[in-house]
């Protein structure tokens, strides 16, 4: 194999063409429409077993989370309340994100150790834990597009320019309020680590 230099007008001719196998090895991201999903499939019950072996130690047997580790299930209907619980089920807009993240980044400490079939299974199980599919559900590239996550329409594009247009202003310099009172104190809460001084 000889590399062809990509030198063209305005280009320096640096780097070398990426080989198909190289692109395949790194171009793993999966998009909302399923672009990027590999062949394979996995069902809820197989997924449950894999989850129990690889994930439950941090995320709990039912994806409900252990201690401070992320909860992956539950929280439906909490987004407009105090302390919303944001999970795959309650918050995530696209299933692709779960597949992609589990595939590339989990389990924590041994990322990219699952086969595509295992990822399909685990994601099916996370859906099941969120009451979004039945226990006989099989996730594959084909069934993928059938799944719609509940909060898919829960996002708007950054609207600060309009919604916060009033922050562009000529600020008050004198007599800006009548009185000022302390309404909350960090020392009372006392959660700051001691810094030794």
Partner 1 sequence: IGAGAVAATTARAAGDPLITEPQYWAQGLGEGVDATPYGLPIEYESDVVRRNVDWLTADTISSINFTPIHALDGTITPQGCAFERHHSGAIELTKEDYRLMINGLVDTPLVFTYGDLERFPRENHVYFCECAANTGMEWAGAQLNGAQFTHGMIHNMEYTGVPLRTLLEEAGYQTTGKWVYVEGADASGNGRSIPMDKALDDVLVAFKANGEALRMEHGYPVRLVVPGWEGNMWVKWLRRIEVADAPVESREETSKYTDTLANGISRKWTWEMDAKSVVTSPSPQSPITHGPGPLVITGLAWSGRGAIKRVDVSKDGGKTWETARLAKPGERMALSRFYLDTEWDGTEMLLQSRAMDETGYVQPTKAQLREVRGLNSIYHNNCIQTWWVKPDGEAENVEVS
Closest to partner 1 by CB, 42 vs 107, is 107
- Positions 107 through 136 that interact with partner 1 (CB under 8 A): 108-113
Determine the size of the site formed for partner 1 (CB under 8 A): 88
99 interface partner picked from ligand HEC, partner 1, Ca ion, none, CB below 5 to 8 A per type = none
Kindly write out the interface string for residues 48-87 of this chain, putting x where it contacts partner 1 by CB under 8 A and - elsewhere: ----------x--------xxxx--------xxxxxx-x-
168 interface partner picked from partner 1, Ca ion, ligand HEC, none, CB below 5 to 8 A per type = partner 1
Q: Give yes or no for residue 139 binding ligand HEC (CB under 6 A).
A: no
Tally Cβ neighbours within 10 Å of residue 32. 13
Least Cβ distance, residue 110 to ligand HEC (angstroms): 8
- Contact yes or no for 28/36 (Cβ under 8 A): yes
- Positions 38 through 57 that interact with ligand HEC (CB under 6 A): 54-55, 57
- Positions 13 through 32 that interact with partner 1 (CB under 8 A): 13-19, 21-23, 25-32
39 secondary structure, DSSP code: S
What angle (nearest 5°) sits at the alpha carbon of residue 6, between those of residues 5 and 11? 120
For residue 139, report the phi and psi dihedrals to the nearest 5 degrees.
-95, 135
Max CA separation in the chain (angstroms): 79
Cα 28 to Cα 35: distance, rounded to the nearest angstrom: 10
Q: Give yes or no for residue 69 binding ligand HEC (CB under 6 A).
A: yes
What angle (nearest 5°) sits at the alpha carbon of residue 74, between those of residues 89 and 151? 30
């Amino acid at each position: 194999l000889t590399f062809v230099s990509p030198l063209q007008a305005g280009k320096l001719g640096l780097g070398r063409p990426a080989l198909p196998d190289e692109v395949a090895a790194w171009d793993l991201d999966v998009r909302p429409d399923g672009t990027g999903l590999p062949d394979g499939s996995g069902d809820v019950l197989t997924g449950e077993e894999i989850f129990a072996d690889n994930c439950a130690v941090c995320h709990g047997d039912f994806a409900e989370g252990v201690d401070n580790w992320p909860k992956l299930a539950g929280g439906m209907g909490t987004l407009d309340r105090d302390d919303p619980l944001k999970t795959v089920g309650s918050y995530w807009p696209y299933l692709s994100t779960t597949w992609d993240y589990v595939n590339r980044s989990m389990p924590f400490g041994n990322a990219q150790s699952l086969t595509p079939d295992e990822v399909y299974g685990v994601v099916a199980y996370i859906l099941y834990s969120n009451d979004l599919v039945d226990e006989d559900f099989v996730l594959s590239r084909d069934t993928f597009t059938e799944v719609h996550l509940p909060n898919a329409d829960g996002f708007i594009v950054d609207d600060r320019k309009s919604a916060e247009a009033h922050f562009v202003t000529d600020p008050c310099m004198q007599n800006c309020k009548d009185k000022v009172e302390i309404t909350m104190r960090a020392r009372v809460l006392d959660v700051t680590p001691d810094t030794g001084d």
